[in-house]
């Protein structure tokens, strides 16, 4: 099953989940209507006929039925939309923080946490997924989760026990499992499940509110109000129980859907790492210890975890039994669990010597190789992991450490934008100084100069990786800090009165995901399934990219025609570069974001084909363009 098939499966599961929850909500609405109608038509002389729903329906006014159902739906949908909206704005970070997680940034503070960050970095770069922020939960049990709406706001959460009790291979297996959920499109489905369950839970909360208000009612109306209090108790208990029944069946549906997804994520992990023993041993250690998360919010997010995070005395298990998961990975397992012992990792030497750093990774990236990669989007191989590790090792230590510092991470992004022209660069540095250098604080300007001088030993092909591993730190900015950071970037780009392809790509790689995170822009809905619906936008983007490859416009036009012939497309027309403005190009990118997955794949294939040259090699600009486009289209591709 490839990336696009997984996305289609996730959408199908999402529709099934919503359909099943609609049935559960319908049941809850019926119960609420039945209870209130029962009170209305109660008649001790009716010999039990009043218990019949048919009798009740015939004797209850339509407007009463409508009012009860409308009020019930309002409460359920209100609770649902409130929770989904809350999680949409806070993303995975909100879930991690509500479970008591703290974000890990400092790589040198704890050797075990450094290992964790290195693993997430490697898998992120190897897969092409923007590096998610990493959170540590204080629990000593072994568990983990991936949460978020999209790649842009996704986070990885890992318990303290997992970091301290799992070796590198086991931890890598667990993290790869969580990346599997990201690739398989499970995260948004999880958010929807949380929202719908919260809506049903609101009925129960309404009943609980009535019961909690009883002491105040008794004090204010102690005399002759016994009947009113009895009614309130009855209504409160009924709503509370009806809500709990709805949550019970909602959890059953959630558990049934989630179990199969856990098997798929396990398979993805083994596929990524090619090391089934690591994942299997992690599961065995859970069997020999615990995976329980001790948080008041733990049950709300139970379907997100790597293993069961709550004690299932009266609820459905959201995960398959451990023994079945282990046997699916290791059919010859002897049935013995592992009692974990604390592991103290040595400080991992992900940095090579200075001499080794200067050696370049000799790997020619071709358009043909990337086209082959499209069919395996989201698939990680041991070769990709090794290459990712090498890329990280080539980053100078000062820059790599700087990506974990809020101020230095911003400086790193700024410095990638500095112009080669000395006069323009001087103007850009003045912009940075006005915005970020505090008066009489030479340390800040010294830090900036140190980072800037380190870039002399940094090749252009490392810029993308630096941007990727800086993103988790940039996501810790407050909205006010981000707007200041964004304003500085825009002014740096506009300093030379021109926008280069690198500057355009950087806006898409850095500013777009942060705009989404801070609620400045919304991810557009996927509405286009045929290229004709976005014909003009594809013409603009494809023409602009091809024109950047040729000095002669006639040759660019010929190359455009060849692409149309290769893809059997005759409806698209070449747009001369003088007719393409940066605004048109930006609008084209935005509209193409609305394409459905299979159309996105076709557009990406056309664009990569347009980057082909006689020797088929891709330049740094080409690679950056592919990264930026994939980031906008949420297509994880490793280049």
Query: Residue 160, exposed/middle/buried by CB under 10 A (0-12, 13-18, 19+)?
Result: middle
Closest CA to 286 of 383, 141, 174: 141
Q: What backbone phi and psi angles, to 5 degrees, belong to 424?
A: -70, -40
Closest CA to 593 of 544, 535, 523, 536: 523
DSSP secondary structure letters along 472-513: HHHTTS-HHHHHHHHHHHHHHHHTTT---HHHHHHIIIIIHH
140 in active site: no
- Tokens representing 44? 């001790």
- Tokens representing 370? 């990337």
Asked if 398 contacts 451 with a C-beta cutoff of 8 angstroms, the reply is: yes
Asked if 462 contacts 125 with a C-beta cutoff of 8 angstroms, the reply is: no
- Tokens representing 321? 């039994």
Q: CB neighbours of 99 closer than 8 A, spacing ≥ 6?
A: 137, 157, 293, 295, 297, 298, 301
Q: What backbone phi and psi angles, to 5 degrees, belong to 319?
A: -130, 150
Q: Which of 121, 178, 373, 537 is catalytic?
A: 178
Q: What Cα–Cα distance (Å) separates residue 623 from each residue in 132, 555, 580?
A: 21, 22, 22
Residue 207 to residue 561: CA distance in whole angstroms? 67
- Half-sphere exposure at residue 416, Cβ-oriented, CA atoms within 13 angstroms: 29
Of the chain, the end-to-end C-alpha distance in Å amounts to 21
DSSP secondary structure letters along 180-199: HHHHTTHHHHHHHHHHHHHH
Residue 635 to residue 597: CA distance in whole angstroms? 9
Residue 457 to residue 357: CA distance in whole angstroms? 9
Residue 246 to residue 255: CA distance in whole angstroms? 14
Cβ atoms within 10 Å, residue 409: 26
**Catalytic residue annotation:** 178
């Amino acid at each position: 099953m490839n990336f696009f098939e997984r996305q289609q499966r996730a959408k199908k599961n999402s529709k099934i989940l919503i359909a099943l929850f609609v049935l559960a909500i319908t049941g809850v609405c019926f119960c609420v209507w039945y209870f209130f109608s029962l009170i209305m038509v109660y008649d001790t002389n009716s010999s039990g006929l009043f218990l019949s729903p048919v009798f009740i329906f015939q004797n209850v006014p339509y407007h009463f039925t409508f009012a009860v159902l409308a009020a019930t739906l309002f409460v359920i949908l209100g609770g649902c939309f409130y929770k989904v909206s809350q999680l949409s704005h806070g993303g995975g970070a909100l879930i991690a923080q509500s479970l008591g997680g703290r974000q890990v940034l400092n790589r040198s503070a704890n050797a075990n946490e450094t290992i964790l960050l290195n693993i997430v970095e490697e898998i992120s770069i190897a897969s092409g997924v923007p590096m998610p922020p990493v959170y540590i939960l204080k629990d000593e049990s072994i568990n983990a989760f991936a949460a978020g709406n999209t790649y842009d706001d996704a986070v990885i959460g890992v318990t303290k026990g997992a970091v301290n009790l799992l070796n590198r291979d086991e931890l890598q297996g667990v993290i790869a499992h969580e990346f599997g959920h990201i690739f398989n499109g499970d995260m948004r489905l999880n958010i929807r499940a949380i929202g719908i369950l919260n809506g049903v839970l609101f009925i129960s909360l309404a009943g609980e509110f009535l019961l909690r208000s009883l002491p105040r009612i008794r004090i204010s109306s102690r005399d002759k109000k016994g009947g009113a209090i009895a009614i309130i108790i009855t209504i409160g208990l009924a709503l509370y129980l009806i809500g709990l029944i709805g949550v019970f069946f909602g959890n059953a549906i959630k558990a049934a859907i989630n179990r199969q997804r856990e098997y798929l994520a396990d398979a993805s992990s083994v596929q990524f790492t090619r090391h089934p023993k690591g994942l299997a041993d992690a599961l065995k250690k859970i069997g020999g210890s615990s995976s329980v998360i001790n948080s008041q919010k733990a049950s709300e997010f139970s379907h997100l975890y790597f293993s069961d995070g709550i004690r299932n005395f009266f609820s459905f298990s959201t995960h398959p039994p451990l023994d079945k998961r282990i046997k699916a990975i290791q059919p010859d397992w002897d049935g013995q669990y592992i009692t974990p012992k604390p592991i103290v990792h040595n400080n991992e030497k992900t940095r090579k010597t200075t001499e080794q750093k200067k050696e370049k990774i000799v790997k020619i990236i071709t358009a043909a190789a990337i086209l082959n990669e499209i069919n395996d989007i989201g698939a990680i191989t041991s070769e990709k992991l090794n290459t990712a590790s090498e890329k990280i090792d080539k980053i100078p230590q000062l820059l790599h450490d700087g990506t974990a510092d809020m101020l230095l991470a911003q400086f790193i992004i700024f410095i990638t934008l500095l112009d080669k022209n000395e006069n323009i660069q001087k103007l850009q540095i003045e912009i940075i100084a006005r915005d970020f250098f505090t008066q009489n604080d030479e340390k800040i300007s010294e830090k900036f100069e140190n980072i800037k001088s380190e870039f002399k030993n940094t090749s252009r092909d490392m810029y993308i990786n630096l941007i990727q591993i800086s993103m988790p730190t940039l996501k810790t900015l407050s909205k006010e800090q981000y707007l200041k950071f964004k304003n500085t970037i825009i002014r740096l780009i506009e300093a030379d009165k021109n926008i280069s392809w690198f500057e355009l790509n950087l806006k898409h790689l850095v500013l777009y995901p942060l705009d989404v995170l801070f609620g400045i822009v919304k991810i557009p809905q996927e509405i286009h399934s045929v290229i004709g619906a976005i014909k003009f936008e594809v013409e603009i983007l494809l023409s602009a990219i091809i024109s950047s490859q040729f000095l002669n416009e006639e040759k660019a036009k010929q190359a455009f025609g060849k692409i149309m012939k290769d893809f059997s497309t005759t409806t698209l027309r070449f747009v001369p570069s003088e007719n393409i403005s940066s605004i048109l190009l930006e609008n084209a990118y935005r509209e193409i974001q609305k394409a459905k997955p299979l159309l996105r794949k076709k557009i990406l294939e056309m664009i990569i084909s347009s980057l082909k040259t006689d020797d088929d090699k891709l330049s740094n600009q080409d690679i950056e363009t592919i990264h930026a486009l994939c980031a906008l289209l949420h297509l994880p591709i490793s280049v």
